[in-house]
Structure 1
């Protein structure tokens, strides 16, 4: 992966993290940096899953890939919030 691909993955990860946080109902007790980290991880994993199913490179916007990434980010934000609530 080239440096431009890594930078774009980070930027997309930030957007995915914010959208994933918006999907989770209620107030989350995690910070912005955790949200960004979850979004970046969800973007990488979501791209891998989308590539495995063959929906990563389509003509136009890859809506299915975005949905997978946002769902993963929502699950990650909810899981991290639950972990933080216990501690």
Structure 2
């Protein structure tokens, strides 16, 4: 992966993390850096899942891939929020 691919993955991860946080109802007790980290991880895992199902390379916007990534980010944000609430 080249540097422009890494930078674009980070930018997409930020967007995915923020959208995932917006999907989760209520107030989350995690910081923005954890949200970004969850978004980056969700973007990578979501891309892998989309490739496995063959929906990653379509003409135009890959809506199914975005939905998978945002869903994974929402799960990650909710899981981190739940662990923060127990402390």
- Which category of TM-score, normalised to the shorter sequence, fits these structures? over 0.9
Task: Give 1:3 shift.
Answer: 1.2
In structure 1, the residue matched to 2:62 is 62
In structure 1, C-alpha distance between the alignment counterparts of 2:25 and 2:76, rounded to whole Å = 13
TM-score by length of 2: 0.98
Q: After the TM superposition, which residues 66-77 of structure 1 pair with which residues of structure 2 at under 5 Å, given as runs?
A: 66-77=66-77
Question: Where do 5+ consecutive residues of structure 1 fail to align?
Answer: none
Question: Where do 5+ consecutive residues of structure 2 fail to align?
Answer: none
In structure 1, C-alpha distance between the alignment counterparts of 2:25 and 2:67, rounded to whole Å = 17
Partner SS state of residue 29, structure 1? coil
Superposition RMSD on alpha carbons, in Å?
Answer: 0.5
In structure 2, the residue matched to 1:30 is 30
Question: How many correspondences in the alignment?
Answer: 87
In structure 2, C-alpha distance between the alignment counterparts of 1:28 and 1:52, rounded to whole Å = 31
Task: Give 1:2 shift.
Answer: 1.3
Give a deviation string over 1:28-57, Cα, whole Å, max 9, x none. 000000000000000000000000001111
In structure 1, the residue matched to 2:45 is 45
**Displacement over 2 Å in runs of 4+:** none
